[in-house]
Structure 1
Amino acid sequence: MSNAKQTKRVTPGSRETLLHMLEILPDAVFVVDDTETIVYANASAQTLTGTTREEVCGTSLWCSAPHLVSPSLYQAVHKAKQTREPTEVAYVSPATNRWLHVSLSSTDEGLALFFQEQLEPLPLQHALSQDEHMYRDLLEGFSDGVMIVTPDGLVLDINQRPLADAHLRREEVVGTPVTDLPAWSSDPVVQEHLSAAIARASRGETVLFEAKIHPRPDLSLDILMTITSHRDASQQVEYLICAGRDITERKHAEEELRVLIDAIPQLVWMARPDGSRDYCNRRWCDYTDMTSEQYQGDGWLQAIHPDDQQRVLEVWQHSVQTGRPYETELRLRQGTTGAYRWFLVRAMQHKDDQGTTLKWFGTCTDIDDQKQAEQRLKASEENWRVLAETVPQLVWTTRPDGRVDYCNQRFCEYMHAAFEQLQGYGWRQFLHPEDVERVVALRHHTLETGEPFESEHRFRNGRTGAYHWFLARGMPVRNEAGQIVKWFGTCTDIDDQKRIEEALRQSQKRIRALIDSNIIGIVSVEGEEDVLVEANNAYLHMTGYTQEDVRSRTLNVERTTPSEQAHLFHHALQELAARGQHTPFETELVCKDGSRLPVLVGGVIFQECPRQIIGFVLDNSARKELEQRKDDFISMASHELRSPLTAMKLQTTLLHRQLAKQGIPASAPALSSMETQINKVSRLVEELLDVSKIQAGRLEYRQETVDLDALLWEIADTMQQTHPSYRILVHGAVRASLMADRDRLGQVFTNLLSNAVKYSPDAQTVEMDLSTSQETVTIRVHDHGLGIPREQREKIFDRFYRATGPSQKAIPGLGMGLYIVAEIVKHHGGTIMVESTVGKGSTFTVTIPRNRDS
């Protein structure tokens, strides 16, 4: 036997029986399908609704029986459809004010509803009675219009406020789509806005919006509509609660406010509680070139710079959600030009007495000039930071109270410390202990007075522990009100400078000691007229002038210099201008009594404008007197030796002839050697006489035509015969005749070839190169001998100077030959130079002009 439950078939006969039974029931019975459309209503249901079966069947339950509709019934139907289980609900009919007990059960057709009408609730439903009365009292107690609607927008319940405004009864409204009510259907735009809001609320959103409605033709209201959803136990939206607050008076006030706002020279706007814009003043529209329709909702974002839109929207939504004041900086496009300018945007909420947000009021302030200035300042600061990190100084900034708030990397590296160790007053730990008190006191003074800060002090190197001197400088930066907002400063390493200054002080002490020592005369000469402005006692003593003469500024170089020696001082001034100092030279000074004092003069230039020269004057009279005596002795000795030598040469010649006649040839070599020595002494005497004449300016010269090639070949042949162990080689030719003294030129090249042989003891060749140009002839004498050290080359043309060295000391001579050579070449307008390498030989180059004034 099967345990399966047997399904009873509904036959035509049983169906008629069932319908008959339903017709005679005292309860009103409705059967609705899944769309909540009535498919059956018994006689009691028709009596309860006051309609016929034809009028009620095929219509929505909520539209056909408005006096039965309530949120409680809607919830029960919603629950029964979901669970398919029997459900009961009891509530007060808003139309009859009688209790209705409804039983709901699932059927093959859909859902069966059994209505029982009672005057009072059953005892078990007393609690429900209290809740129902509370619900009705609460609904009617709202000053706002309140409607309970389905997620599809059908009205389930409504309080008296909107009914009174529209002059409607509840039965005319319940079960009707809220968008079809006269208040909303009179304006298609408002009707569409409400439909969109219901759709959003049906998805669980809370929607706020403002709308202008017309409950009846002679009444226009501005309302603030709030739509919230009610969810069942499974979190499904059961129905919506629509609350409309009359804000007509507020809107009138806002209109008046808008007229005022349109006159404000700022960009002003207002937004709804949900954040959508609903008003911008005329100035905003003129600037953006947008109409009221374009900026509505989120349309205002189109005027924002694309790079700012996302950020601005996020900040705005955050403020709307949290209720916090809105503030941001953004770029707005100027509608006619397309240019963007920076604006500061601020907005605040306007709330009612209950704290509900009614409006957002905002302004846009043009800050483009300020932003441009900030950007320039930022760029300047960035450039300054880059510069601060590249300059060799230690760079720092402080706050107005003197606390360090920035140090460049070089500062940190020198101190070998992190910035955190230096900020504030941390840098003081690196000051030299002896400098701390002075530096801190000076810094406090500059902070109080606002004067620039400057100090020299020592900082400890963090790595080595050594102290270096630094020059610290700081300047205050002030705002437009003159207040100090920052200090900028640098520390420059002046340790080397301090050492130099100390060395200079020591040098000045030594110079002062030299000046005061009366060993050397020192004068200071200034200006283009070279006036003596200072002189030490040594100078005054040797010249006879006084300090009064110096202070009178009547002494100058021209007055104290012999006119014939002015060219020496002129040359010295040119050398000073070129080199900063001049080569010391011998001259004379005109003393106060008119006498002349031989001196050695040197000088250095201290500054260019005005020109200041320091001159050093050494009394040269004793040396001059000694030289004069020496020259006089040489001249006298030369003359005195010349006569005995002449006699000796004559006697030697006679002796040679007598011995030859007597046939005694064996004595000839000794006699010949004697003649050679006499000739050497004669040449020395002749040279001494030439030197003496040169010193006295009495050396005589002849003017004659000289065939230079013939002269040079003649000298070379003579030297070759005199020194047969050497090869005298001549290269080239000059092919020129000169107006010169032939004997003196012969003396020059004889001397040069003789020196070349004498200073080349280990060589076998001496060379002479001849060349010519249109203006000059050049003769080079080159040997492969000992060579001359660099430091002695400029001195070998001095009188009685001989190069020193182990090899040169063994070579005889008095150091007169090259002196005489240089003087003869100079007299002929030529020059003589030497090039030499020690151990490799020397080359003497003589250059003589081909044509010169005699």
Structure 2
Amino acid sequence: MDLKFPSHGYKDVFYNSIAPMLIVGTDAPHYTMLDVNNAYLFATHTRREDIIGQPVFGVFPANPGDSMSKNVERTIFSFEQAIKTKVTHTMYNYRYDIPIPGSNEFEEHYWTTSNTPVLNESNEVLYLIHSPSNVTDLYKAQEREGAAIALTKKQQLQLQSVFMQAPVGIGIFKGPDYIADLINPPLCRLYGKTEAELLGKKIFDVLPDAKGRGFEALLDNVRLTGIPYRGEELGIPMLRNDKLETVYVNFVYEPFREPDETITGVIVVATEVTELVNAKNKIEEVELRNRIAVDAVGLGTFDLDLLTNEAFTSTQFARIFGFEEALSRNNYLELFHPDDEPIRRQALKDALVTGRLFYECRIIHKDSSMHWVRAEGKVIYDDNGKPLSISGIALDITKEKKSADEQRKLISLVENSVDLMSILKMDGYNSYINEAGRKLLGFKDETEVLHRPVSELHSPEHLLQVQQEVIPSVMKTGRWSGVMIVRHLQTGENFPVYNNCFRIDDLVTGAPISIGAVMRDMRPELAAKAALADSEQMLRNITTASPAALWMSDENGHITYVNQTWVNWTGTSYEANLGSGWLQKIVEEDRIRVADKFVSDVLEKRNYEVEFRINHADGKIHWCLANGQAHYNNEGKFAGYIGSCMDITEQKMLQQQKDDFIGIASHELKTPVTTIKGYAQILEKMLQHHGLAREASMVSRMDTQLKSLTSLIADLLDVTKINSGRLQFNDREFEFNPMVNDLVEDLQRITDKHTFILHLNKTGIVFGDRERIGQVITNLITNAVKYSPGAEHIVITTAIENNEVTLCVEDYGIGIPRDKLDKVFEQFYRVSGDLQYTFPGLGLGLYISSEIIKREGGRIWVNSVEGKGSTFCFALPLVKEETDI
């Protein structure tokens, strides 16, 4: 057999592989070693020249440190299996010790080795790749773990032995059903059950008498929270020796934790103390008999030594004063209410004279609660008549005092009530009617109440309701309420009252003894309802007659009312316009805009104003102006809108006629003004040529005025084009900042007083009409100059924010009042008041600028503080830069 090993292209990878590998021939039984990598040499402490061409077991004989490992036999078996099956065979966790360099000793090692066959084209095994992995650390760790487990099991057995021999009852109960997992003999005896009856069973199934007494909740709390619970001298019903008895125990519930700290149950440690508790109870029983006579009535006893001023009190006396045990006299005296302290002192002085002590005073407990105390006592004298002490009792009379106070309040409340309150005896006579009731029914005095039967308060037909409906219902169900008719004893007038009556029973026997009633005169309420109905009808008539459409909405923007005018305009039913139905009559092109604004204003709770067109019932399109005023309820919460809607079709027609006139007039003015301007410029040059400087200056001023007139005409033409939708835009991409820079330079040349400060941040490319956008910028800057006559600087800033190019013009001029900010972009808006004629113009520039920016897909706004200046800004969409993919 050719044992030569090919060496084409594998050696660099093979030698430098981090996994130890040995190439072994298939020439059994020698298994000649053909090649070896560096990792294998390092792992086995060998040299290449000692290995190549040598048989495996000549270099690596049986394990020198452990002949029992049979490493040679296992290796031969693995070689044979790999050659036979032609698949990798692995040997796991076998020992083979490695010599320690420079000594005759060996180092203990454990290995897991794979033998992989390498096949030729004929599927024959050429050689084996023998790859050992050093698992010494892992193997020893597993050995240590096994030893630890064995030790743990031994400790568990020892612990269980201690557990079973403990003198107290101990048990482990697992899971939410508390199944007995481990239980020792003392606990079995305590429960009166055998170990077989308890182990593996749900504890409350085995001890049913302990169910429903709170133990389940205590166990759940310990198991779920991990917080132990300790109980002392707790009585538990137990069935022991076929007899149900109460067993007293001291016990502790501790959470049972698994090795991973998970709580899976509860450890119960219990000690029976039944005999101790019974003995204690007998002692307390004797003491109780001694206290019961006094404590039963809540009396506290005291004895005051008048010679030493020391007081000896019972426990009940201390409790009256808010203490748990008897204290010194000063502790009690500190609690007396400052206003009642003189009463106590005077009572003590009087007692020394009369021999009897009596007072009722307020005391304030340490918890700040106030109580009433009554003290009574007798003075004890010596043979010479000298007072020695006072012995007596104290009683808490807080409830008695409060009851008297409540009774007085109740009587005051009843007597001052505006409603009738009465008590009817079972014989048909009233025993009590309050003052309001006596006036309501016409009784002269309280004596008459007692002697006039209830039958006289009703006409015969109305008395039948009392006899057949009211009294039977009260007797059967305990109460009746409803409207009944009563009669005034003096005038004979029959009038309605709303009566709430109820049965009053004897507290001892439960038998009915009287009927209580609370009646309210319904005449004012009925009159108010009638007045309200009249008012509502009047309001309905007014709204129906209104030439404007009136409407209301709730806080969510749902229409809750429209008047007849709107119904007539739309030609639809009242119900069809409620909710959001009113939108259906709005022209489709306006509908989304109107709805969106309404929703936005409702969310912001702003006043609502919008213009829109409707499909009128007359078959034509009508223009409407809707206004809504936000209103709020008594609690200050937004409650919706109250609004009106005006038909402005005629005003719109007049506006259109005005726009047409302005357009025609502006167009007609443009040509002659341009001609005049041309002649003025020629005339100025001629005068300058002839040296007539003064005359040329006058013509120059005329030219300046012509420029202003030309600008006004241009604004008027733009407005007419905007209103008619004919304003043309030549949109294209352009660099924004260079355009701004050019405009500012041109404007700076013609502006002497103001300096323009530029902050041009990176902006990029904008898609729009360069000339129109430039017109907006020019307008904003010239406005800033115009309205800041006392300032020296105008700041122009550009930037990119949220994929928009923004430009802001900031001045330090007169500013704009806050309530006028939303009007500056309207047509013909100008500064009002004293400044109206100071700043010339038609008020069209900002309107035109606003419309241009909107039509270019942008937005425009202003921030201003009156007297400090304004900042006008607009934003345009930024053209996204294309990126190479």
TM-score range, shorter chain: 0.3 to 0.5
Give the TM-score normalised by structure 2. Answer: 0.41
* Higher gyration radius (CA): 1
Give the TM-score normalised by structure 1. Answer: 0.43
